[in-house]
Chains A and B, each alone.
Chain A
Amino acid sequence: MTLTFVMMEAPFENARTVSVLRLIDAAIRRRHDVTVFAYEGAVAMTFARQAPHANAVHGRTAEEEDHPLPKDWVAGLMTAAQQRGVKLEWINCGLCVDERGVAEAIPGAKRGSPADLWKASEASDNTLVIGTR
């Protein structure tokens, strides 16, 4: 099966981002091909300059904190897809990238447009939009 997911939520603001990653992860584990169209704030999910930090409240160094960064989770999903022989295509809405200044994305994240979303949707068995509030 081929699935398209649209996500809008920016990282670190809401549980929706993690919920979408759970769904993508589940789809990949079940060997479905997945296209993700990241729209609006979600284009920051793959921003390459996200950086981990220590946690002084819990007394942990940066290494001990092992802070999960969204870009690393997305990269992990890309690796998992590759290992399972399925496709994970990550498309960031280009205009959204520009206005947010997050053009430096991890390898594998592409720049696209609404036309790419429509094409992906047409080529998919189903499309799930998880918007934002």
Chain B
Amino acid sequence: MKKTLQIVTSAYRCNSEEQDDPVVWICQAMKGAGADLDMLLEGTAVNYAVKGQDASGLSFGTKAQTQPPRIEEDLKRLSAKGIKVYAIEEDVAARGLERSDLLEEIKGIARAELPKFFAQYHQIWRW
């Protein structure tokens, strides 16, 4: 079976409407279908690794959102299923984030390590 690395490069694009991040979601679905994959958060997507985000409370007129996106829970669920979730350290630092701001499940990886890191996977899917 192919082992793939799923790279998430943009964040918060349609999370309110989808009540999910579409790439994080499809990775969970593919894992459920038997896929062997890990995830790398790049660029703005490293923000997904930040603890304590709360998107609840959105409403327009009389229509309230009852199931807000809970990306933190999704990433924890991925990790519990054996999917390793990485974040590029330089992208984290560039956003003024500290390691202590991030979920424990997230593993940091430096850009210089990426070539060797990529070589562990049969394919790289960059979303």
Residues of A within 8 A of B (CB): 6, 8, 39-40, 99, 113-115, 117-119, 121-122, 126-127, 129, 131-133
CB–CB B9/A113 < 8 A: no
A110 to chain B, nearest CB (A): 17
20 contacts between A and B (CB under 8 A): A6-B125, A8-B22, A39-B26, A99-B18, A114-B26, A114-B30, A114-B33, A115-B32, A118-B30, A118-B33, A118-B35, A119-B33, A127-B123, A127-B125, A129-B125, A129-B126, A129-B127, A131-B10, A132-B13, A133-B13
Residues of B within 8 A of A121 (CB): 2, 4, 123
**B1-21 interface (Cβ within 8 A of A):** 1-2, 4, 9-10, 13-14, 17-18
Partner of B14 from A6, A40, A126 at Cβ < 8 Å: A40
| Chain B binding surface SS class | mixed
In whole angstroms, how far apart are the Cα atoms of A115 and B1 in the complex? Answer: 14
Partner of A115 from B9, B17, B30, B126 at Cβ < 8 Å: B30
- B93 on the A face (CB < 8 A): no
Number of A-B contacts (CB under 8 A): 47
CB–CB A122/B9 < 8 A: no
In whole angstroms, how far apart are the Cα atoms of A6 and B6 in the complex? Answer: 13
CB–CB B29/A131 < 8 A: no
Residue tally, chain B, CB below 8 Å to A = 22
- Known A114-B29, A117-B30; 12 more pairs at CB < 8 Å: A8-B127, A39-B22, A99-B18, A113-B29, A113-B33, A114-B30, A114-B33, A115-B30, A115-B32, A122-B2, A127-B123, A131-B126
CB–CB A115/B33 < 8 A: yes
CB–CB A131/B23 < 8 A: yes
- B34 on the A face (CB < 8 A): yes
Residues of A within 8 A of B127 (CB): 8, 129, 131
CB–CB A118/B34 < 8 A: yes
Residues of B within 8 A of A114 (CB): 26, 29-30, 33
In whole angstroms, how far apart are the Cα atoms of A67 and B11 in the complex? Answer: 34
Residues of A within 8 A of B32 (CB): 115
B77 to chain A, nearest CB (A): 15
